[in-house]
Chains A and B, each alone.
Chain A
Amino acid sequence: MSDVVINDAERTALVSIVVRGMARGEASAEQQSLAEAGLLLIKGPMMMPTPAGTAFVGEILCLPADAPERERIMATFHRFLPVNRALRDLCTAWQVRPDGSVNDHSDPGYDAEIRDRLDDIDDSIAPLLKRFAEDVPSLSGYRARLTEALEKLDEGDNAWLASPLIDSYHTVWMHLHQELLLTIGMSRQEDEALEEQLVSGNHG
């Protein structure tokens, strides 16, 4: 474990920025001190974690191999991956129509079908989030963030499903996925392989 010591507020700020990949805006006091500790890079209005910052978050989030909750989280994570695939497929359909053309959102029927399927995904993730949060309370915030994105989407702004530039449903989901991977200490490659195995082995 790294010998850098940070307080709780700094820890939250660092985890948030590592999970998000970056942040914009004026640096808070916590972010300033993280930058001074070499964990964060502030460049104009943009902030990025340094490799040391990313590694540090990996260390603090990763559950020890013998943690009693690890097995439960892994079991739930196995259920998460097929839903994760479904969400990415859905975002893809939202952006690109089946014939490969860009979805210009001029076909209300097409969009309504996808929005309707999103409810199935949201229904599926709800109990999973509940289970994750029982063991890792910091994950409990994702439910509200997903709901907020859904509400904004239903107010009529299509960007709230998959735009990477805002906290859209997909963006929040991607953060959740990243935080889960850091928590269980799994690489993207392992994650992809596991997802493929779970999806192709179970078409239900």
Chain B
Amino acid sequence: MVISPIDDVGLVPFGKGFERGLDVRSLCTRGVQMETLAGLGLPVATGLTIPVPNVPGLVSADRAEAAVNLLETIAGRTVGSTTADGGILLLRLSASAPLDAAGLPPDLVAIGLANGRIPEGLRPRMAADLAVAWWKTASFIAEFALEVPGDEISALGLDFDDPAHRIEPLIALCNEKGKNKFPLEVNQQLADAAAAMLARWTSPRAARARRTQQLPADLPLGLHLETVVVTDHDEAGHGHAISRDLSTGQFAPTGGFRHGVRVSGERPSIGHPLSKLPGGVAMLTGVLAELEGRLKTVVLVDFEYGPEGLVLAGLEELNRTSARVATSLAVDLATRGITDERSAVEAIRPAHVLELMHPRPRLTGHEVVLVTGLAASPGAAVGRIALTSEEACEMAEAGDSVILVAAETTPGDLPGMMAAAGILTVTGGSASHAAVVARGMGRPAICGAGGMRIDRAAGTVTAGEHVLQRGDVISVDGDAGAVYVGAVPIERPEPSFALSTVLNWADDVRRLGIRANADTGVDAGVAMDNGAEGIGLCRTEHMFLGDRLPFIRRVILSSSPEEEELALAALAEAQREDFRDLLLAVGDRPVTVRLLDAPMHEFLPTEHEEVDENWAKMAESLHEENPMLGVRGVRLALIHEGLYPAQVEGLFNAWIDVNTQHGIAPTLEVMIPLVSIPDELLMSLRLIRRVNQEVASRTGIVVPFSIGTMVETPRAALMADQLAQWAEFISFGTNDLTQLTYGFSRDDVERRMLGTYLERGLLTVSPFSELDEWGVAGLMEIAAAKARSARPDIKLGICGEHGGDPASIALCEKLGLNYVSCSPSRVPVARLAAAHAVLDSE
């Protein structure tokens, strides 16, 4: 039976696959992409897919002939024939698989040259392009279908500069050493091209590619055959367009195009910007917007253009993009109503937030730009100018931050590059050896800053009107390619509009409250700017160090009650100032103040310090073997009963100050650390209440506060119901709780043991970075249940490092905690992770 070419089920014209009930399993990814493009109702490349089951048959000239016939029928032209405008119609064969796969055989873009030779009489540039394309196609067929040794083919490439001159010798080589003669007519060329692709797909190279991508070893191929009109330059060409500007994330078609013949399947890097595209970009803009909406991802389309207009030739989904692009896309899709706000939140990962909040130069607009160049290696650095590698090493050795400024770099500059904090070169591109090396070392770099002149002898760098000397300070922004005179501060940026939008949507989704750990007004301000709802942990230890150290020493080491009382009064006054700044930044939000938790030894004179002999003796007598488990936290406060009262007196007075002077009323939460015996909490509470009453009787103002406890010891966790008799809130100190649950001393374990344990699989992750689900969180679960049994409305939170870790936040959601508290800079990550925890549990 003779099958009409158009009904041949083994050949599926682009745009006919879905209606024949086929999907990616047989059409493969490129087939589906062409179906999607055809579905837009716009011109697409003329082509067909040979579905997976029919691919092996294509290596026979009969089946190849059927494919060529069908394509000629669709195109209305004959392969190899000259078109009206002087072009030639050829075939392009490409491969794809049912799954996204890298390492596919390359596209063969010039099948169908009669007698295997470039026709005479073509315009020189067109002939040159065609020769390159044909050499790539023919040499691939020779190596993989005809099994001609690869090094003999490479030798031809070296012996003949001009690809056009390699063809005859290649055909001769094939005829002499190939398993078959070189195919001279189109059907056999196609059959051999298909055979070459299949052979290449079974090569060790392709097997390795499948293995590293964890793709099935027997992943099949589909083939795609298209017509290519090889025509004269300025009338035709090819290019690609991406839906977004990848540097800003905004929807704006970007890409390029090139006049002339496509010489390989790779996208050319050299070309014209889309803005110069003949006929404009309106159609592409519409196509890209439509495709982004349909596929919900950043898209790339390949296109070809000619006298008859634009034809869509390929589609790629760019699913992995930078944080900037991902957030802009997610917000745009939700705003257009294509997705919703929850999907946008889901699409952004914590790593995106970290990437967007990475420290960058904080520009005010008043910076003086020294010079600009190519952003060659990301990051920013501030340092002094060094003009040679030796100088850079010497200056770095002296403790200076150095920027190595050089005309160009050679391997000899390696020591200087290692010593420098940043690198600036006059020549070289963003793919120069210097750029590759800088990126490999993680050093910010700007290359190709051609507007700069270096005079090593004079020790100067000149750019425009600026003449800088060796040793002068400059700042380099390796992301923007800009160099500034002087030091530009490097800080975390404000969240972008798109990120702020996503985080606000995350706030609507999340259940967990997000607070921050902050000890100063400045830190609290950053936390609030980042969206914290309050302070979950204000540590007071640092308030006792520096110029306050003598006071606390007098409390601990004093021999008379009077001396101790004086010292405590001074401490209370000093604390009042500290807390005032903090409370001002907190405003009407909650703030949890943890009373002194430091181990005693931090306040004692060291043996190298010159102090009063009595103090030295006293300090010696107070020496502890294991200070972290010694007289620390509430224990120190119950031995020196004036300590906590002095602290809360300072706190209450500060509250009155900000309340009366600024009209704000922070919600005070006073937290007692390292409790393991419920009565420790009760006794502390009594001391604090007494001070509260004293302040009230002195000022006439009753400062509202609640009292709570840290749960850091397993005993406290197991007795949480008893603690909850007095505690209105509990905050899990998960760092100490992890240490005491495992019996790990964190520093020792991380230094000596963790690596081995991770390597041997005894631990999969450090329990100090990610909350231990079974042991530590198990104790927390018991504690939470017990605490709620005694006080159903008790507030539960965590305030360790885990509070900023997404996996730990998910556990806190599972445990039903009320809030997590993390460092100010992690607040955006925590807001997002808390929303993910809700979405993941639904």
Q: Is the CB of A97 within 8 A of B320?
A: yes
Contact of B158 among A79, A99, A162, A188 (CB under 8 A): A79
Q: Does B431 contact A (CB under 8 A)?
A: yes
Which residue of A18, A43, A126 is within 8 Å of B412 (Cβ)?
A18
Q: How far is the CA of A10 from the CA of B417 in the complex (A)?
A: 26
Interchain CB contact under 8 A, B412 and A54: yes
Nearest CB of chain A from residue B421's CB, rounded to whole Å: 16
Does A149 have its Cβ within 8 Å of any Cβ on chain B? no
CA distance A76 to B155 in the complex (A): 12
Collect the chain B residues with CB atoms within 8 Å of residue A115's CB.
103, 208-209, 212
Is A145 interfacial (CB 8 A cutoff)? no
Which residues on B sit within 8 Å (CB–CB) of A123? 150, 154
* Known contacts A22-B414, A54-B412, A178-B410; is-contact A88 B322 (Cβ 8 Å): no
Residue A95 interfacial (CB < 8 Å): yes
Q: Verify if B657 is at the interface (C-beta below 8 Å from A).
A: no
Chain B nearest CB from A204 CB (Å) reads 3
B205 touching A116 by the CB < 8 A rule?
yes
Residue interface bits B433-445, CB-to-A below 8 A is 1, else 0: 1011101110000
Chain B residue nearest to A196 (CB atoms) is: B429
The reply to whether A100 and B378 contact each other, CB–CB distance below 8 Å, is yes
Closest to A98 in B: B246
Neighbouring B residues of A126 by C-beta, 8 Å:
151, 154
Please tell me if B279 contacts chain A, counting CB pairs below 8 Å: no
Residues of A within 8 A of B378 (CB): 96, 100, 102
Q: Please tell me if B188 contacts chain A, counting CB pairs below 8 Å.
A: no
Does A28 interact with chain B (Cβ within 8 Å)? no
Given contacts A100-B378, A174-B411, contact A109 B208 (CB under 8 A): no
Tell me the B438-457 residues at the A interface (CB within 8 Å). Answer: 439-441
Chain A residues closer than 8 Å to B417, beta-carbon distance: 164
Name the A residues within 8 Å of B163 (CB-CB): 204
Q: Say whether B661 faces chain A, with CB atoms less than 8 Å apart.
A: no
Check: B70 CB closer than 8 A to any chain A CB: no
The answer to whether B430 has its CB under 8 Å from any CB of chain A is: yes
B155 / chain A contacts, CB cutoff of 8 Å: 127
Closest residue of chain A to B375, judged by CB? A100
B259 → chain A closest CB, angstroms = 11
Contacts of B191 in A (CB 8 A): none
Give the shortest distance, in Å, between A58 (CB) and chain B (any CB): 11
Residue pair B102, A21 in contact (C-beta under 8 Å): no
| Cα distance A188–B429 in the bound complex, in angstroms | 13
B413 touching A21, Cβ below 8 Å: yes
Residues 300-343 of chain B, each 1 if its beta carbon lies under 8 Å from chain A, else 0: 00000000000000000000111111000000000000000000
Q: What CA separation (Å) do A94 and B428 show in the bound complex?
A: 18
Interface centre among B132, B135, B410 (most CB of A within 10 A): B410
Is A204 a contact of B263 with CB atoms below 8 Å?
yes
Given known A-B contacts A102-B378, A109-B101, A164-B437, A189 and B427 have beta carbons under 8 A apart: yes
Chain A residues, CB < 8 A from B264: 204
Using Cβ atoms and an 8 Å threshold, which residues of chain A touch B158? 76, 79, 127-128, 131
Give B205-241 interface residues, CB cut-off 8 Å to A: 205, 208-209, 212-214
Interchain CA distance A54-B324 in the complex, whole Å: 45
Interface range on chain A (Cβ under 8 Å from partner) = 35 or more
Q: Could you tell me the distance in whole angstroms from the C-beta of A110 to the nearest C-beta in chain B?
A: 7
Chain A nearest Cβ from B236, distance in angstroms = 16
B103/A113 in contact, CB under 8 A? yes
Q: Are B102 and A110 in contact (CB under 8 A)?
A: yes
Q: Are B440 and A95 in contact (CB under 8 A)?
A: yes
B352 — nearest CB in chain A belongs to which residue?
A101
Partner of A188 from B150, B355, B408, B415 at Cβ < 8 Å: B408
Contact partners of A175 in chain B: CB under 8 A = 411
Of B136, B375, B408, B412, which is in contact with the most chain A CB atoms at under 10 Å from its CB?
B412
- Inter-subunit contact B263/A88 (CB<8 Å): no
A204 touches B132 (CB 8 A): yes
In the complex, the answer to whether B411 meets A178 with C-beta atoms within 8 Å is: yes
**Which of chain B's residues has its CB closest to A116's CB?**
B103
**Is A69 at the interface (CB under 8 A from chain B)?**
no
Q: Tell me if B818 counts as interface (CB < 8 A to partner A).
A: no
Is B550 at the interface (CB under 8 A from chain A)?
Answer: no
Contacting residues, chain A, for B697 (C-beta < 8 A): none
User: Cα distance A89–B408 when bound, in Å?
Assistant: 18
Contacts of A19 in B (CB 8 A): 411
Within A173-204, the residues touching B (CB, 8 Å) are 174-175, 177-178, 188-189, 192, 200, 203-204
- The answer, yes or no, to whether B775 is at the interface (CB within 8 Å) is no
CA distance A136 to B432 in the complex (A): 26
A92-B440 in contact (CB<8A): no
Contact residues in B for A168 (Cβ distance below 8 Å): 440
Q: Say whether B270 faces chain A, with CB atoms less than 8 Å apart.
A: yes
Residues of chain A within 8 A (CB-CB) of B258 are 203
Contact B151 A127 (CB under 8 A): yes
Expressed in whole angstroms, the minimum distance between the Cβ of B659 and any Cβ of chain A is 48
A116 and B102 contacting across the interface, CB-CB below 8 Å: yes
Encode A148-180 as 1/0 by CB contact (under 8 A) with B: 000000100000001111001010001101100
B208 contact set on A, CB distance < 8 A: 115, 154
**Residues in A neighbouring B247, C-beta threshold 8 A:** 99-100
The reply to whether the CB of A139 lies closer than 8 angstroms to some CB of chain B is: no
Q: Is the CB of B427 within 8 A of A192?
A: yes
Q: How far is the CA of A54 from the CA of B322 in the complex (A)?
A: 43
Q: A102-131 toward B: CB 8 Å interface, digit per residue (1/0)?
A: 100001111111011001000110111001
Within 8 A of A (CB), among B134-154: 135-136, 150-151, 154
B367 an interface residue at 8 Å Cβ cutoff? no
Beyond the given pairs A112-B102, A112-B103, A154-B208, 6 more chain A to chain B contacts, judged by CB atoms under 8 angstroms and listed by A's residue number, are: A21-B413, A97-B322, A100-B246, A100-B375, A164-B440, A177-B433
21 contacts between A and B (CB under 8 A): A43-B393, A88-B432, A89-B431, A92-B439, A95-B436, A99-B247, A99-B321, A100-B479, A109-B101, A110-B320, A112-B103, A113-B103, A116-B205, A127-B151, A162-B439, A162-B440, A164-B436, A164-B441, A192-B427, A192-B428, A204-B129
Shortest 5 CB-CB distances between A and B: which pairs?
A: A204-B132, A21-B411, A113-B102, A99-B246, A101-B322
